[in-house]
A and B are shown apart, each in its own frame.
Chain A
Amino acid sequence: MASAALVLPPAAPPARPRVLLVGTALASAATFMAFAWMIGLYVSERSAVVSAGGTWLPDGSNIPLTPGNMAFATMLISGVSIWWAVESVGRNDRQMAYLALALSILLGAAVINATSFLYSQIDLPVASTPGALIYTITGAHIAMLGFAMVYAAVMVFRTLGGEYSGRDREGLVAAALFWYVTIAVHAVIWYAIYIVK
């Protein structure tokens, strides 16, 4: 029996575990893997068609650059605003933190709006190989962005509730990390789908 061990002096209090940050990092990596496979499939299917002498997008379909570029530019700007929020909480400047988080969520909504507008412009049937893949990949990214926005909103409410401050901003850093992975995925989509087509 090992109960004799209980007479030993207690351990020093452990450092506060960064559970949420570690969990978010793992979840972000998992999400990135899913997108890596989908975009890999897109590139592989496109390459097969093009190398066989075919055209990738069906006749009459086109992916205009402007909405895709605007969506990506908006996404990049949201990267600044989400870091602004993290920095503001680090300086205990709550007003700025609320403003920055709200702006990030607003920019996220703008990206969804721009992508929806893009859908209305490309005239691409879903019942085609490029259509099925483009709608799946960009749709999954919108879902990811939606989750990132909800995550950031939860962190806003937690900050409002006083849970995070200059000493501990783990939740906000975790939300920002997921947000940056969302931007990274968007960057790959922007190049592989919107630019290369």
Chain B
Amino acid sequence: MAVTETPPETVAAAGSATPAATRPAPTGLAAVLGSGDHKVIGRLYIVTSLLFGLATVVLGGLFAFESVDAATLEVFSSGSVLQSFSLFRLATVFLVAIPLVIGVAMAVVPLQVGAPAVAFPRAAAASYWAWLVGSLLFIASYLMDGGPGGTSGSGVNLWIASFGMVLVAILLASLCLATTVFALRTSGLSLARTPLFSWSVAVAAVLWLFTLPVLVATLVVSYVDHRHAGGVLGGNAALAPRVGWALRNPQVYVVAIPLLGFFADVLATTAKARLALPGAARAAIGGAGVVSFGAVLATNDASAVETPLVIAMGLAAVLPALLIAGLIGDLFRRGSFRLTTGAVYAVSSLLLVLVATGAGALGSIPALETAGTIYDIGVAHATLVAAVIAALGGVHWWATKIGRQGANESLGKLVPLVLLIGGLLVSAPHLVSGIAGEGIETSPDWTGGIEGLNYVVVAGSVVLLLGLLLAAASFLPLFKASDQSPRDPWEGQTLEWLSPSPPPIGNFDADLPTVTSAEPLVDLREEN
């Protein structure tokens, strides 16, 4: 059977106009291991990436501690410090931020577009399991003394192969998500009416599909070079520089694109108003995709960051976030204000996105000479923490669709604020060190950073860890069964709130109405 075929539990729903929710859902281990249900796959992505996130924040905190006095403190041995640092940098992107965003998108996007299932459900399930196995092998490769700077040939080969596996899994998930938005929308839901979160996920997924294959190709070449060609193309020493473009702006901004849609959807619902100029919001999100095309830096030429194209991309990256912020401001001017937890998450994340893209724009100015310094890490950290805040906000906002009941509200309001403070503390010192630092203080690794400011990064790591633990605690109710979970706890505007909570296999228990605007539930309320 091809991976493109629809699995049994969703085939009836996908192929028929009649909703099929009568078939009992599988239970126990079968419900997890054998499921092609997008909610289950999304949950798996979310839980696993959160676990990786906790470990990654601890690792980052240890590096921040070491950087306070890199000459005397030896948290990591000199033989393994480069490898551990590469694990930290790569894990933040490919084991935490991207899969967390994918997890929320996987659970929510099919519901938002009125689809009974995600496109290619088996491929979606395969993407999670391949990502999990790849991630574990990726970590294991470091234990074998592999990775950039590793001395074990087999370990380095395993590192390249497992990293490639992680990327292919992410590509597979992106393919499923983009196809769901492009081909499985319900009747009347044109692309111009697609909820902004789904639209932004589609843009990000397409960007990943266009850029991450370049990274896969890099790994294929590196594998042949390292294993068979004796390192004629640089061997082990070239690994870290070759993948570096995927960890800095503009490529790292791709993970922030779904955030823009999340802000717009959540805050429009919170303000109980329709978003003005939805076309402009859609264009802004699409524009964010254009300026995030980081594969232009996949070159051996280090001066590529100073080309007019890359400078222009860096400067322009702040504009979509500013436009979305402006449209959101207009929402609250016209609408009513409610202090929902989703809004606190969205505003916290939006502030950090503005910091990240604003700093990225500033850093694009060649005269500041921040390219290739610790400044880039500051921009990346701000972007990634913003992505994590928004993704956790997504889990909270759509808790009744992702889990069995809503998350803890009072704890939920605290989490984004703690994470925002933590995000600022781990990124701002690097930004300052990149501009004001001298000599080794600008170094883009564990030796960089102004000494006094590195204490702030240590504190920020602790705050981030606390924030993640609080988030995990606030999500505990999602695991408890409840008969009283409301369909629409927020008076939502988009189709996912028509599905029961939690949604059954097939997602909807009745025929969906023909969509006639970008806010179908607002239309329905007005008609009734």
Contacts and interface: CB of A to CB of B under 8 A. Distances in A.
Contacts of A126: 224, 228-229
A12 B221 contact: no
A132 B524 CA distance: 62
A80 interface: no
A18 B220 CA distance: 32
B511 A127 contact: no
A126 B224 CA distance: 9
B488 A2 contact: yes
A133 B225 CA distance: 8
B187 A12 contact: yes
B524 A5 contact: yes
Interface string B198-237: 0000000010011111101110110011001110110000
Contacts of A127: 228-230, 232
A23 B209 contact: no
B186 interface: yes
Interface string B508-528: 001111110000010011011
B206 A11 contact: no
B17 interface: yes
Contact of A19 (B119, B233, B300, B528): B119
B76 interface: no
Contacts of A34: 213-214, 216-217, 220
Given A2-B524, A23-B120, A26-B175, A37 B183 contact: no
Contacts of A131: 229, 232
Given A2-B487, A33-B210, A17 B184 contact: yes
Interface stretch (B84-92, B253-261, B372-380, B490-498): B490-498
A128 B225 CA distance: 9
A120 B87 CA distance: 40
Contacts of A13: 17, 187
A37 B511 contact: no
Interface in A1-22: 1-14, 17-22
A18 B221 contact: no
A129 interface: yes
Interface in A101-147: 126-129, 131-133, 135-136, 139-140
Given A37-B217, A136-B224, A2 B183 contact: no
Given A3-B487, A3-B488, A129-B232, 9 more contacts: A5-B513, A8-B513, A10-B513, A11-B186, A12-B514, A30-B210, A33-B217, A131-B232, A136-B220
13 contacts: A1-B486, A2-B525, A5-B528, A8-B527, A14-B187, A19-B183, A22-B119, A30-B212, A34-B213, A37-B298, A127-B228, A132-B232, A133-B233
Interface of B: 2, 4, 17, 119-120, 171, 175-176, 178-179, 182-184, 186-188, 206, 209-214, 216-218, 220-221, 224-225, 228-230, 232-233, 295, 298-300, 486-488, 491-492, 497-498, 510-515, 521, 524-525, 527-528
